[in-house]
Amino acid sequence: MRTRPPDSLREIQFQLGIAPHAAGSVLVSFGNTQVICAATIEEGVPRWMKEQGVSGGWITAEYSMLPYSTHSRKPRESSRGKPDGRGVEIQRLIGRALRAAVNLEALGSRTLWMDCDVLQADGGTRTAAITGACVAASLAAQKLLREGKLSASPMVHKVAAVSLGIVEGRILLDLNYEEDKDAAVDLNLVMTESLDLVELQVSGEEAVFSRQQLDALLDIGGRGIQQILEFQAAALRTAQK
Ligand code: UDP
């Protein structure tokens, strides 16, 4: 049972530096959903970029759910022997979101690997992953600046994401698993600090929705993202001290 108002977020926390060997890392929590996001910098770019003469850098993301992140154990992909379609879709989404946040030209000839591993899944793991990946990428960019490898930050936007749904006719912001499984409409929203859209995934699950409902979802989602961006900025300020 949801005890907080329909348009309010779960408690959001960022624990920076969770993976010390990464160039930037964070454990992000949206309520009980917890995702470890880590950025690793690799000098050089994928071969296709060199072959096609594409200048600048690249960002690629990987997403996985740790076996014990779900109620019943989820076998690792390495033991299943085949890629998980949902995971592939989510990691592409994370990659696109981060490429909107970073000026690839300014990144120079390097690859930023974004690894997002779900520690505990309770709905909204992809949106938490995007929000955390932006923090990890910002920390990695600060490291490149500190080391004198870059003279200006390649981060052009901050991005954050949140999920929404319509459950029993009510719009709910930031759904947990119990709410998500009953949702007639599912929406994942990725936006920048100017509240420009980076990605909008919305689908009716055996249901339809009106333009008015879509507008209301976007309004509530936009306000949620604004708050998430404030928490994100506050977390990053602590890293600069
Ligand atoms: N889930 C799960 N096992 C899976 C996939 C999903 O337990 O293999 C749960 C998990 O709590 C997840 C939720 O279902 O957060 C909703 O999954 P969805 O595919 O909608 O992605 P998410 O909301 O996590 O981005």
Q: What is the pLDDT of residues 104-160, one digit of tens each?
A: 999 999 999 999 999 999 999 999 999 999 999 999 999 999 999 999 999 999 999
Q: Over 80: is that where the pLDDT of 239 sits? A: yes
For the segment(s) 12-156+225-239, the CATH number from 3.40.630.30, 2.40.160.10, 3.40.50.720, 3.30.230.70 is: 3.30.230.70
- Higher-confidence position of 79 and 159: 159
Using CB distances shorter than 6 Å, the residues near ligand 1 are: 70, 74, 86, 121-126, 163, 177, 180
Sign of CA dihedral 39, 112, 78, 132: positive
**Pair of tokens at residue 186:** 């599912």
Q: Whose CA is nearest to atom 11 of ligand 1?
A: 122
Residue-wise pLDDT tens digits, 6-20: 999 999 999 999 999
CA distance 137 to 139: 5
Give the chain's mean pLDDT: 96
Q: In this structure, which residue's CA is closest to atom 3 in ligand 1?
A: 70
Res 78: pLDDT:
86
Other CB atoms within 10 Å distance of the CB of residue 66: 17
pLDDT digits (tens, 9 = 90+) for 176-205: 999 999 999 999 999 999 999 999 999 998
Domain ranges for the chain, please list them. 12-156+225-239
What is the per-residue pLDDT for 240? Answer: 77
